[in-house]
Amino acid sequence: MNKRALAFLTLVIVLLTSGAFAAEPRQEPTEQEQARTLYIFHTPIVMLQAKFGLTTPEERVLRIRNTLRNFSQADVREPIKIVPVTRYNQQGKLFVMNGKPLMLLTQADLDEGDDLTLDQAAQRVLARLEAQRTALHDQYDTGWLVLSAVKTALGLAGCLLLIWGAWRSWRRVKRHFRRRIAENRGLIPKTWRRYVGAVEARLYALLMILLGMIAFYVWLSWAFSLFPWTRVWATSLGDWSLRVVRQIFLSIVSALPGLLIVLIIFIITAFILKLLKMVLNQVEAGRLQFPGLHPETVGATRKLLSVVVWLFALSAAYPFLPGANSLAFKGISVFFGLMLTLGSAGVMNHAMSGLVLIYSRALRKGDVIRVADNEGKVSEIGMLATKIITRENYVVTVPNAVVVSGKITNLSAQNNDGSINLTVSVTIGYDTPWRQVHAMLELAAKRTACVDLTTAPLVRQLALMDWYIAYELQVRLLPGQPLAAARNVLFSNIQDVFNEFNVQIMSPNFVMQPEGSVMVAKENWYPAPAAAPERDK
């Protein structure tokens, strides 16, 4: 019996480093104060301060611990008593268990800040010791252990039943949302109900998971408290949970003023952006004018102003954000700043090129342009790239830096109605009168239905080459006519007209000098369909 008692009584005294809540022990003890404090089952009993000869308070705590280890189970059954004594010329209180001295509390052990007499301090220490002795005696009883095991099993069954019920309720909630989606019930439209219902079901599942975790945590802490071997863990779990809840609550309360300031800053920012949007809408509609601001650039200006205003608001609200001064928050900020610095070189180049395109008004959405070997209609001018729909109905994405660095030919910028100027070139030999070529090209233009005849076709002679003359025909297409389709019809008509009047569209290259001069006689200056002016008739 003595060996068994010695084995389990060794666990009675646990000298741990933790906070205290008694009158004499410190609530936030230092390392020296912790060494002078007697702990039983993670509970502070008393802090000794008197030094007797060469015996320090720390050594007195160790001696009390060794004394407790020598008590038997029969000693634990007897209540602790206080015997007034005089030791080392000081009044003291000797704590006795079953006639065996346990510890000595003297006047020198008291702290003046506690404002307690020796009798009052002794009574408090006695109450704490008796609570631990009684709990130890009850819990090491065989009947108590059996009852604790039964309670633990029942508690586990209840916890598992609660978790099973939470899982069943989640399945019912999921079926409920599916039924509402199928029956199209509720105020939310069916197209949105599918996604909202899935989000609600997952939120409920998350709530049930948290409920199961809390239930398991409560059961585990309660089960640990039933047995003396795990009672320290139960106290630690309880203290940790209370400390976490308290810290969360205090953090929320302390963060409320800063969050209120952040909310005010964001409300003011939203109001400023709303005001700017109203002004820019008036500019876009042409009812208001500002120097340097055009309706074509209002969209980009609105985005730039929004970014600038929000960045300014974020800079102003940053110090008031919860955890803004923490090392983790600063580390994340530095990390994202480094990523932005390393990865934004090319992006910023394209973005600035996009701003150049927008504010120079070189391009507009719907313009027909020619960039390098790409020709088509502009469908989008983004911050990073410009998209062009070609005649093959392909979407070509050209980076803005490439667009700005090259030559841009805008075929429709000069016409306010969106019509396009189309030019085609042909080369005809010197033996064909130029007046006839002009007339044939004009006739081909008049036969093309997509050409706007209110603007007369224009024929130019671009160059007198070695063996032929280069002609150019310029026409104006009707608004909305596709460039590729119009070019195809005009080319077809040019070929038909030249075939009708027996004129070859070719470059008459020759390898030897002809016998006669390659020229047009004056009487042949106006062959059909050309008509001579009145002065030449």
Q: State pLDDT tens for residues 92-105.
A: 888 888 888 888 88
Is residue 12 pLDDT above 50, yes or no?
no
Q: Which residues contact 528 (CB under 8 A, 6 or more apart)?
A: 436, 501
Strand-pair partners of 214: none
290 φ/ψ angles, rounded to the nearest 5 degrees: -130, 140
Whether the full predicted model's pTM is greater than 0.85, yes or no, is: no
Q: Is the peptide bond before 529 cis (omega within 30 degrees of 0)?
A: yes
Are the CB atoms for 489 and 449 separated by under 8 Å?
Answer: yes
Q: Whose structure tokens read 């993670």?
A: 42
Longest C-alpha distance within the chain, in Å?
154
Side-chain-side CA neighbours of 426 within 13 Å: the count stands at 25
* Distance between CA atoms of residues 472 and 425, nearest Å: 4
DSSP state of 462: E
* pLDDT at residue 468, rounded to an integer: 86
For 51, the token pair is: 């030094």
* pLDDT at residue 526, rounded to an integer: 78
* Cross-sheet strand order for the sheet of 468-476: 421-429, 468-476, 458-464
- Phi/psi region, residue 8 (left: phi>0; alpha: psi -120 to 50; beta: rest), is alpha
Instruction: Look at 107-116, 232-241, 273-282 and tell me which has the smallest mean pLDDT.
Output: 232-241
Between 356 and 37, whose confidence is greater?
37
For 450, the token pair is: 């997509």
> pLDDT confidence of 181, banded at 50, 70, 90?
low
DSSP state of 392: T
Nearest to 68 by CA among 31, 118, 102: 102
Q: Which amino acid is at 320?
A: F
**Percent of residues in the chain assigned helix, strand, coil, to nearest 5:** 55, 15, 30
Between 485 and 200, whose confidence is greater?
485
The full length of the chain comes to 537
> pLDDT confidence of 15, banded at 50, 70, 90?
very low
If DSSP states are collapsed to H, E and C, what string results for 178-241?
A: HHHHHHCCCCCCHHHHHHHHHHHHHHHHHHHHHHHHHHHHHHHHHHHHCCHHHHHHHHHHHHHH
Q: Which residues contact 140 (CB under 8 A, 6 or more apart)?
A: 8, 73, 76, 228
Is residue 19 pLDDT above 60, yes or no?
no
Q: 422-462: per-residue pLDDT in tens?
A: 889 898 888 888 999 999 999 999 999 989 888 889 999 99
Distance of CA 358 to the CA centre of its chain: 29
Q: Which residues of 324-347 are buried (b: 16+ CB within 10 A; e: fewer)?
A: eeeeeeeeeeeeeeeeeeeeeeee
* Distance between CA atoms of residues 506 and 124, nearest Å: 120
Between 210 and 536, whose confidence is greater?
210
For 329, the token pair is: 């928050």
Nearest to 60 by CA among 121, 101, 114: 101
For the chain, give the mean pLDDT.
Answer: 77
Extended strands (E) in 48-185: 80-87, 90-97, 100-106
Side-chain-side CA neighbours of 338 within 13 Å: the count stands at 6
* pLDDT at residue 438, rounded to an integer: 93
For 174, the token pair is: 């999921």
Q: Best-predicted range by mean pLDDT among 84-88, 345-349, 438-442, 532-536? A: 438-442
Q: 359-378: per-residue pLDDT in tens?
A: 666 677 777 878 877 788 88
Q: 69-80: per-residue pLDDT in tens?
A: 777 777 777 888
| Element housing 421 (H / E) | strand 421-429
